Amino acid sequence: MFRRKRDPASQPNSWRTDNLPGWGLFFIAPWVFGFIAFTVYPFFASLYFSFTNFNIINFTPRWVGLDNYVELFTYDPLFWISIGNSIKYAALLLVAATIFDIFIAYLLSLNVKFLSIYRTIFFFPVLVPVVAASLTWIWILNPRFGLMNGLLDLIGIKGPNWLASPDTAMYSLIFIAVWGSGRSVIVYLSGFNDIPSQLYEAADIDGASGLQKFRRITLPLLTPQIFFNVVTLIIFSLQSFSEVYIMTGGGPANSTLLYAVNLYNRAFHDFAMGYASALAWIMFLLILGLTLLIFKFLSGRVIYER
C-alpha cells in the first residue's frame, strides 16, 4: 500500500482523478460512526469513570480524583494477586503453547498421511463452545469420578485435586488452554509448508545436522508465524475471562483470580464501576506497553522471505 504510493507505474491516473473524494468516506461511514460510538466514547468515558465513584442505581458518577488508583495500588490485595496470576498464566501459557504447537505443526508438516484428519483433531477444541468445553473439563478433572484421575488410577497414580486445589488449579487452566490452542497449530503449519524444500536439500548436501537445519532454516523462516502467534496469545491470555470464570471463578483461595475475572467481579458483582474502570485502564496501559515492547524486540528479528 505504502509502496504503491511511491511507485507511479502501478498507479493508473484514473485513481487520482476520477474519484470523487466523498466515496471513500461514504464506504467507511459505518466504521466512523461505530468508532465514535463504540470505541472513542467508551475509551474516554472509561478514563473519566476511573476518577469517579459510580452509583449504579441512578447512574451518577461522583468525582473522587485519584482515590481509585490510590486504593488499587496501596490497599487492594486482590489487585496485586490478580496481576501476579495473570502474568503467571500468560507467561506459562505462552511457553507451553508455543513449544507444543510448533512441535505438533512440525510433525504435521512431515508429509504424513491422513494430514487432514490430524489437523481436524488438533483444531477440534476450537469448535467446542467455551461453556461446553469448560463444563466438560470440570467433569473430567473431578477428583473422584473424573476421567483424568480415573485413568491415573489405572496406572496406580493418585491424581491431585486439579481445579479444586490452589496448588494445581492454575496449571490445570494452562493445560486446558494449550488443548484449545489449535488455531496456532494451523498458522504454524502454514509457516512450515511455506519453507522451500530446496533450502533443506542444500543443507543436506552441505552435511548439516537435523538440529542445525532447525536452528538455521526452520526457526528463522518461521519467525513471522511465531511473531503473530506470540503477540495474539499475549494479548488474549491477559484478557482471559470466560474459561476461568466458569471453571474456577477465580478460586480456590484466589489462586486463579485472573485480572479480567477480578475486574468483572468488581464491575458486575460489587457494581463498583468507577473502581473497575480504573482497573480497566491499568490493564489497557499494561497491554499497550507489553505489545509495544514485543514489537520493539521481536519485529526486528522477524525474517520475511523475498
Partner 1 sequence: MSAMQPTAPLRRAFSREERNYLLRQRLKSVAAHAVLIIFGIAFMLPFVWMISSSMKPNVDIFELPVRLIPKTLRLENYIDATNAIPFWQYLWNSTYYTIFATIGAVLSNTFIAYGFSRVRWRGRNVVFIIVIATMMLPFQVRMIPLYILFARLGWLNTFLPLIVPNFFGNAFYIFLMRQFMMTLPRELDDAARIDGASEWGIFWRIAVPLSKPAILTVAIFEIIHTWHDFIGPLVYLRHPTKYTLSIGLRLYFTQYGAEWGLLMAAAAMFTIPMVIFFFFAQRSFIEGITLTGLKG
Of 144-203, binders to partner 1 (CB under 8 A) are: 144-147, 150-151, 153-154, 179, 183, 186-187, 190-191, 194
Contacts of 154 (CB under 8 A, 6+ apart): none
Question: Residue 22 or residue 65: which is nearer to partner 1 going by CB?
Answer: 22
DSSP code for 180: T
Residue type (1 letter), 80: W
Grid cell in block for residue 86: 495473570
Site for partner 1 contains 137 (CB under 8 A): yes
Report the alpha-carbon distance of residue 276 to residue 61 in Å, rounded. Answer: 13
Site for partner 1 contains 237 (CB under 8 A): no
Burial 118-145 (b: 16+ CB within 10 A, else e): bbeebeebeeeeeeebbeebbebbbeee
CA-based Rg of the chain, rounded to a whole angstrom?
Answer: 25
Minimum CB distance to partner 1, residue 290 (Å)? 10
Site for partner 1 contains 221 (CB under 8 A): no
* Part of the chain binding partner 1 (CB under 8 A), chosen from 45-53, 85-93, 215-223, 250-258: 45-53
Minimum CB distance to partner 1, residue 215 (Å)? 18
Contact 96, 178 (CB under 8 A): yes
Minimum CB distance to partner 1, residue 166 (Å)? 20
Minimum CB distance to partner 1, residue 254 (Å)? 19
Residue type (1 letter), 223: T
| Residue from 6, 7, 9, 30 in contact with partner 1 (CB under 8 A) | 30
Other CB atoms within 10 A of residue 74 CB: 8
Task: Give, as ranges, the residues between 238 and 277 that touch partner 1 (CB under 8 A).
Answer: 238-239, 241-242, 245-246, 260, 263-264, 267-268, 273, 276-277
Report the alpha-carbon distance of residue 200 to residue 213 in Å, rounded. Answer: 7
Q: Interface mask (CB under 8 A) for partner 1, residues 55-94, using x and -? A: ----x-----------------------------------
